[in-house]
Amino acid sequence: MTVIQNTRGSNSFDPAHNTAKSKQWFARAQSVLAGGISSSARSVTTGELPYPLYMDHGCGSHITDVDGNTFIDYLLSYGSLILGHAPEVVTTAVCDQMAQGSMFGTCNTVEVGLARLICESVPCADLVRYANSGSEAICGAIRAARGFTGRSRVLKFEGHYHGWVDVLAVSNRPNAFQTGALTNPSSHPHSRGIPAGVVEDVVICPWNHPEILLSILDKYEGQFAAIIAEPIVANNACTMPDPGFLELLRNEATRRGIILIFDEIVTGFRLSIGGAQQHFGVTPDIAVFSKALGGGTPLSAFAGKAEVMNLVASNQIKHGGTYNGNPMCAAAGRAVIEALLSENLLERMEARGQHLMEAIRRAASDFCVPCIVQGTGTMFQVVFTPDGRPIRHYRDLLSADTDSYARFRQGLLLRGIHANSSGSACWFLSSAHTDDDIAYTAEMIHAAMGDLR
């Protein structure tokens, strides 16, 4: 395996020289793509480099950039590649379907077969509707909740991410001046261009604060269409729910006639085959899926209780899309779920991920670096905090040492380990990661943590 060499190792490494082709490609991209990128999430540099790395190909747990540098990948397209890069079962399913036709704009049998698997696997899924991205499916779920209840307000938790579209792009990552009081958080638009009326319909609540939640629910009694949450806050430090908090959401939503939506775009088919709702034993009214569901193809879905979804079924709540449920992506999704069901993949991934989490904790202890590692074995994050306490809600992250994370991540990258560049997002495991990958990564984690002394 050719990897970027550690600058402290026996081989001297010049990042600018070893990534010259990426630099050239970024210059070309800037002339034709806005900002040289296709997503705001990619508007990052590569440590000391003022440009991103351009990947050329991936296989299993590894990716290789245009300069030939190979990395063990723990980004996995933000958790989408649960079976790794180019898994045979997915590529075969997609290629076989492509030979029959990629899409028809009509009903097809493949989408039905996949929906059956989803309904059999996910506790809340009586009926399914497909979309193509997590953001699209979120829009469908919110419209379904509003259409069912006849209300417009949505309770959203501070720091939870539900896509880039206007409907919920509010208080995703506000700074300390934008948050407002903890007991009455401000609703702050994530971007310019989001209408004020949209923002006003989104009421913000801090995560893991039962008393404040109840106060806000009382204040807006009879006005909420939905409560939406990432059961594990994947986009902000893998923040876990406190014991009983998800149950409280379920009980209050039921008592007040509010639709409970779990954003399982990240946790779905990853935390367990039935997602976070199965893992925690709390069933929402609607759940939203993407990432692992498509196994690397643009596929998403919202699924829910028949009582709510029947209004979508009867076309009283409109939902459409030319690409929805296309057989190519549905074939990929079916291959992923069948693989997860047929083998003990999630349990093995969990065990290997727990090994890495413990390796980070040991390395931090060895070098007296304060940090917390939280999440589960299949998805976790390390946060460098002053006191090493767990992150319980978004505002705890405002004091995190982001410079230390950047240095840690850069040290790993130079040693051939590719992880998320954001200090608040996740590491992901795939079924393609081997014991050798985990052993090598654990060794490099120790070395990279030593750089922080």
Domain boundaries, the chain: 15-86+344-450, 88-342
For residue range 97-123, what is the model confidence (pLDDT) as tens digits? 999 999 999 999 999 999 999 999 999
What mean pLDDT is predicted for residues 195-206?
A: 96
Q: What is the pLDDT of residue 45?
A: 59
Q: Assess whether pLDDT exceeds 80 at residue 4.
A: no
Q: Active site residue: 74, 78, 285, 291, which one? A: 291
pLDDT-wise least confident of 13-22, 252-261, 286-295: 13-22
More confident position, 16 or 441: 441
Please, which pLDDT band fits residue 425 given cuts at 50, 70 and 90?
Answer: confident
Helix segments in 164-256, DSSP class H? 196-200, 210-219, 245-256
Q: Assess whether pLDDT exceeds 60 at residue 2.
A: no
Rounded Cα distance, 312 and 318, in Å? 6
Rounded Cα distance, 234 and 211, in Å? 24
Rounded Cα distance, 414 and 418, in Å? 9
Q: Assess whether pLDDT exceeds 60 at residue 6.
A: no
Residue 23 designated active-site: no
Rounded Cα distance, 127 and 304, in Å? 6
Residue 161 designated active-site: yes
Q: Assess whether pLDDT exceeds 60 at residue 9.
A: no
Q: What is the pLDDT of residue 140?
A: 98
Please, which pLDDT band fits residue 326 given cuts at 50, 70 and 90?
Answer: very high
Q: What is the pLDDT of residue 357?
A: 98
pLDDT-wise least confident of 160-174, 271-285, 324-338: 160-174
What mean pLDDT is predicted for residues 323-338?
A: 97
Q: What is the pLDDT of residue 41?
A: 77
Which is it for the CA torsion 361, 364, 367, 369, positive or negative? negative
Fold of domain 88-342: Aspartate Aminotransferase; domain 2 (3.40.640)
Helix (H) or strand (E) holding 57: strand 55-59
* Class of domain 15-86+344-450 (CATH, top level): alpha beta
Q: Residue 272 gets which letter from DSSP? A: B
Rounded Cα distance, 239 and 395, in Å? 11
Give 369-373 contacts, CB < 8 A, sequence gap 24+.
369/404, 369/449, 369/452, 369/453, 371/404
Q: What is the mean pLDDT of the chain?
A: 93
Secondary structure of residue 421 in the 3-state scheme: coil
Q: Give yes or no on whether 15-86+344-450 and 88-342 have one common fold.
A: no
Task: Find how far residue 262's CA is from the centre of its chain.
Answer: 13
Q: Active site residue: 65, 166, 263, 285, which one? A: 263
Q: Active site residue: 161, 166, 405, 437, which one? A: 161
Residue 396 designated active-site: no
More confident position, 39 or 433: 433
